[in-house]
Each structure stands twice: as structure tokens, then as C-alpha cells.
Amino acid sequence: MEPESPALPVPKIEVKNFSAFYGKTQALHNVDFTIYERKITAMIGPSGCGKSTFLRSLNRMNDFFLDFRVEGSATLDGEEIYGPAVNPVLIRQRVGMVFQKPNPFQKSIFENVAYGLRIQGVKSRSVLSDIVEKSLKAAALWDEVKDRLNGSAFSLSGGQQQRLCIARALAVEPEVILLDEPASALDPISTARIEELMQDLKDRYTIAIVTHNMQQAARVSDRTAFFLDGTLVEVNDTTKIFTNPEDPRTEDYITGRFG
Amino acid sequence: MAENVLPEKGLSLYRKVRNALLGGLTAVAFVLAVTPLLAIIYVAYDRGKAALSLSFLTTLPGGFPVGIEGGIANGIVGSLILILIASLLSVPVGVWAGLYLWDQSHTPLAKATRLLSDLLLGVPSVIWGVVGFYVFSTNTGYGFHWGFSGLAAGLTLGFIMIPIVTRVTEQALRDVPRSYIEGALALGASRFQVVRGLAIPAAITGIGTGILLGVLNVLGQTAPLIFTNYYNTGIPKNLVGSNGSVGDLAMQIFIYIHEPSKGLHVKAMAAALVLTMIVLLLDMGIRLLAWGSRKYAQRMG
Ligand SMILES: Nc1ncnc2c1ncn2[C@@H]1O[C@H](COP(=O)(O)OP(=O)(O)OP(=O)(O)O)[C@@H](O)[C@H]1O
Ligand SMILES: [Mg+2]
């Protein structure tokens, strides 16, 4: 672990008394939680405990489920994410997301990364080229694809596709990146590359990652949150969570006693 | 080529018998599936070859009984006009309805639309024809008094096509993986941008197939034409009114075969071959278009 910076961490996303429902089922119960700027926050917990629901609530990806609704407060830089005047499209531009299964578009590698800019109306080829290159470099994929930018994204390996999806998310210059089990479909080497990449990105982005892999949470994150049955049991510095958790349920989970 | 790694003699008798049986069944199924197409082409060619020539495609029927001389230009032109009118109505309406059903799939209005659309799929074409007659053609009907005409028939056929296009468009969009759509939404794409830039290109082959199915259905219809258009041995100047009927290949075949004239039977089978070829060409054309637009969508935003 690198030494903590002495300056106080700045809250980026603050969630207070936050509940989420799919119709009558309540998936999150009164969660209080802060995600700090330029830190990696990991979310762990058994399957179905609400990690994805929580993550997807932060960029309003759950709006597409018709009967989904939330209660309580979630703010991005102090602004309500679910405020009545908020345009969810703008939230999603500021809070990017990478999914469990790599989901590149049926387009060229170049166009995959350029997509987010094109939909914002960027047409200039040179601007696009610059940003595509920058994003692919930031996602540690440039060297592998620079000679075949016009090739299909589907010709890449799974790990490369996932880095392409990260590059695609970076291209629209989000402030926060949400990753929902980004490495669970990848082999160990590709996983290691994604983890390295997260360390590189941390200087510039706020990162929240859901993972089933406790070692991964311990390796990559600064803070870790443990969810159980839709409640946030405990959130703390990662070292503290893994060495000296406050809640016995956290200890049970990380020592593999359930889940 | 991959070597057959399992030596045949290493297989148990049971597996040998099973492999042979399954292989045989597959071969039979294949033959059964292709035979009809080959049979159609062979019979139509064999019976109609005497009438086939380039001028058969480009001249109007003449002589007595009408059609014993000349060709089927009236039918080719008429069929194309009917396809065009039917498509102009049904493609925009059907694709839009399919998009709507996909996008709003769970709303009560969408459920009702889907149910009605599926019911329409089952309405026999003769009923479409009679209703088309009352609505579009006859003077004593409901509103439009277009007579037996290309417009009346084209619109009737268009209404037959709408539920086909709707159903297939919705299904094609449903086959686009949700994760794919979510990837774009997470980048800040609007619903419209997702639909236009990703969902439709990903579904375009399916949508094209739907349009093709509709067109082929229209090409083969005779019952609706009997009531709304009948037939024309020439090429009309108008598409409405007393001289507004168009020729039509299916009707032409139907009428020629009913005449007690060997010569017309030959012409009918030659026309059948032409119709089959048009169908195959349209099929290939649509596939090419779908392929091309997918390539285009891959490059563009
Ligand atoms: N679209 C949905 N409609 C209804 N219920 C849902 C929906 N998505 C999730 N749920 C329910 O919400 C609860 C939390 O699900 P969620 O996907 O957030 O869990 P998770 O912690 O991400 O699980 P996993 O580790 O398996 O991904 C579960 O009980 C789940 O069944
Ligand atoms: Mg999940």
C-alpha cells in the first residue's frame, strides 16, 4: 500500500439514508456511505446483497427498470443525483461505468472509443484521433491495437475487450468510474493488467469497484465497504477492514465463514 | 483440415450405429428441405421453357386468348408497383410500431398493440380483400371510391404486411443484447441515439428479413387482388379510378392456368419461374443491403 496522502480526503459521492426498491422488493436499506475523490473504493458482499444495485444507482442506470425507485439522498459534488431538474444523461457522462462482461459495440476499435464523443457531437477527425489515442494509452491498450484501429472490436481477447470498454469510458472524461466485477470474466493475467490499470487511473479518477474477490479488494482499494442483505454493514480503510473489522459479520465474511 | 482423431474401429457398436442413424437422418432432412425449391425451379422451367425469352419479360400480352402472344411486362411492372405502395405504407408503420413495442414493451398500450397485431397476422387474406373492397374500391363502400385499382390493392396488401414487419422488427430488436444497449447508455447516450446508432444497426438484418417476408407475402397474394384490383393486361396511367388496375404476376399465373389453353399454361409456368427468380433476387438484395448497412454502421457513429 502506498502511504496515505496527508491532506484530508474530499467527498465525491455522498449517500445518506439511501434505499432502493424494485417494485415491492427493497434491495437497499438506509445506506450511508461516502466515496472519496481519487480513491479506490471496493464493495464486497455475498451474491444478491445489493452491490450492483448500489453501483447502478450512482449513475442512474437503474432508471431503465420501470418499477425501480429510490429514497434518501445521493449527491455528486454536493448535487442531488436524483434531483428533479437533473438530466440523467449528464450524470452518466460524469459517472462512467464498466460492466462485468466486456460489451464492446459491433464497431471498429477506433469507433468504440470514439462513440461517447460522437454522441456528444464531436466530428473533427483530429480531435477524435487524439482522444482515442489518449484513452487507449490510459487504458494500457494502445500498444496492442495501434496498428489495427479499424479492425473489429470483437477480434480482441476478452481482457483486451474489457480494457477497450475502460478506454471507451475514459474517452468522455468522466469524474467517477464505476466498475461492476470488471475482472470476473477474465483470466488471471488479464485481471492483473486491469488491477495495474486501476492504480494508474487512481491519480485522476474516483473509482468504485464491485468485486467478489476479496484478495482483489485488498490489493487494489483504499477503502472497502461490506454489504449484506441490502444493508451496508461496515465501510472503512481497506487495511482496517481486512485486519481488524469492527463488525463480527464482516469478519465472518472475509474469513470465509459464509457467503 | 482436422484429422479425425478418433479411429473408427475404436468406437463401440452402439455409437457407430447411432452416428450412422443420426447422419442418415440429417441427410434426409437436408434433402427434404432443398427438394421443394429445386422441384419448383425444375417444374416451372420444364413446363415453361418454350415461352422463355428476353421479350417475354419486356412485352405486353396480346393475341387471342389474351396472352397467347407477348409476355408478362404488365405483371412485372404491376407487381413492382404493388410492392412499392405496400412497402411505402407498411415499412415505416411496421418498423415504428416494432420500435415502439420494443421500447415500451410493458405498457398496457404496447401489450394491447401487440395482441391486436398478432391477431391481424392470423386474418385470412380473402377477408383482407373483401374489407379492402368495401373500404377502398366500391362506390357503395366506406369513404374511398377508387374502383378496382393499384392503389386500393397496394394499400390492402400494405395493411397485410404491417403486422409481419412489426412482429419481426420487435423480435430483431429484442435479440440485441441488453448489455450492448447499457454500454451506450452508460456513456451518456440518449435513448434515441441508442436506437438509431446501435439497436437498429444491430437488428438491421432481422428487420430486413421482416420486410422481405412481408414483400414475399405480398408477391404471392391473389385473394386480396381479386376484390381490389383484379388484373390488367396493360400498364395503367393512373393508379385510381376505372382504368387504375395494374397487372400482377401471381394473378397472371392464376388466370392463365384457368384458361383452357395449352399455350397459356406454358406462359403461366414461365411466369412462375420469373416470379421465383424475382423472389430469390429480392432475398439476396436484402441480405446484401443488410450486410452493407452493418458495415457502414461499424464505421460511423
Ligand atoms: N431488475 C431487477 N428487478 C427486480 N429485482 C432485482 C433486479 N435487479 C436486482 N434485483 C434484486 O435486488 C437484489 C440485489 O441485487 P444486486 O444485483 O444488486 O446484487 P449483487 O450484490 O450485485 O449480486 P451479485 O454479486 O450476484 O452480482 C437481489 O435480491 C436481486 O434479486
Ligand atoms: Mg452484481
Q: Does residue A1 lie in a domain region?
A: no
Give the mutation candidate from A57, A108, A115, A122 for the B interface (greatest B CB count, under 10 A).
Answer: A115
Chain B contact present for A101, CB below 8 A: yes
Domain assignment of residue A3, yes or no: no
Q: Is the pLDDT of residue A139 over 80?
A: yes
Element (H, E) at B40: helix B13-48
Atom 6 (ligand 1) nearest CA: A22
Using the structure block, give the residue that is written with the C-alpha cell 398478432.
B118
Distance A51 CA to ligand 2 centre (A): 6
Closest CA of chain B from A237, distance in Å: 28
Picking from A224, A202, A258, the residue whose alpha carbon sits closest to that of residue A51 is: A224
Which ligand is nearest to the Cα of residue A46, counting in written order?
1
CATH code for the domain in which residue A112 is found: 3.40.50.300
Q: Searching chain B, which residue's CA lies closest to the CA of residue A98?
A: B183
Q: Is A182 on the interface with B (CB under 8 A)?
A: no
Q: Do A119 and B197 touch (CB under 8 A)?
A: yes
Q: Does A93 touch chain B (CB under 8 A)?
A: yes
- A219 within a domain of the structure (yes/no): yes
- Does A103 contact B177 at a Cβ distance shorter than 8 Å? yes
Domain count, chain A: 1
CB contact under 8 A, B187 and A96: yes
Question: Given an 8 Å threshold on Cβ–Cβ distance, is A172 in contact with B188?
Answer: yes
- How does DSSP classify residue A61? G
Q: Is the pLDDT of residue A30 over 50?
A: yes
Query: Residue B9 has what pLDDT?
Result: 61
Residue A193 banded pLDDT, cuts 50, 70, 90:
confident
The answer to whether residue A220 is domain-embedded is yes
Which of A66, A106, A168 lies nearest to residue B106, judging by beta carbons?
A66
pLDDT score for A259: 46
| Residue A49 CA to ligand 2 centre (angstroms) | 8
Q: Which residues of B touch A108 (CB under 8 A)?
A: 298-299
Q: Is A211 in the pocket of ligand 1 (CB under 6 A)?
A: no
**Residue A43's beta-bridge partner residues?**
A210, A225
What is the strand order of the sheet A79-80 is part of?
A25-36, A11-22, A68-76, A79-80
Q: Do B299 and A61 count as a contact with CB atoms less than 8 A apart?
A: no
C-alpha cell at B8: 473408427
Q: Are the Cβ atoms of A105 and B180 closer than 8 angstroms? A: yes
Q: Examine residue A6 and state whether it is found in any structural domain, yes or no.
A: no
Write the pLDDT tens digit of every residue in A218-232: 999 999 999 999 999
Q: What are the residue ranges in chain B where pLDDT is below 50?
A: 1-2, 301
**B187 → closest Cβ in A90, A92, A150:** A92
Measured CA to CA, the distance from residue A144 to residue A148 in angstroms comes to 9
**Cross-chain residue pair A89–B197, CB shorter than 8 Å:** no
According to the 3-state scheme, what is the secondary structure of B180-207?
A: HHHHHHCCCCCHHHHHHHHHHHHHHHHH
**A51 CB less than 6 Å from ligand 1?**
yes
Burial class (CB in 10 A: 0-12, 13-18, 19+), B24: exposed
Name residues with Cβ closer than 5 Å to ligand 2, which is an ion.
A 52
Rg of chain B, C-alpha, whole Å: 24
Instruction: Report which protein residue has its CA nearest ligand 1's atom 3.
Output: A22
Per domain, the residue ranges of chain B are 14-50, 52-299
> If you search the block for the grid coordinates 430486413, which residue do you land on?
B208
Options 3.40.50.2300, 3.20.20.100, 3.40.50.1100, 1.10.3720.10; CATH for B52-299 is 1.10.3720.10
**What torsion, rounded to 10 degrees, do the Cα atoms A20, A23, A25, A28 define?**
0
pLDDT at site A258: 59
Question: Over the Cα atoms of chain A, what is R_g?
Answer: 18
Domain with A218, as residue range(s), is 11-254
Which positions in chain B have a beta carbon within 8 angstroms of at least one beta carbon in chain A? 106, 177, 179-180, 182-190, 193, 197-198, 201-202, 294, 297-301
> Is 0.90 topped by the overall pTM?
no
A2 belongs to a structural domain: no
Worst-scoring range by mean pLDDT, A39-53, A203-217, B2-16? B2-16
Q: What's the rounded Cα separation, in Å, for the pair B249 and A105? A: 43
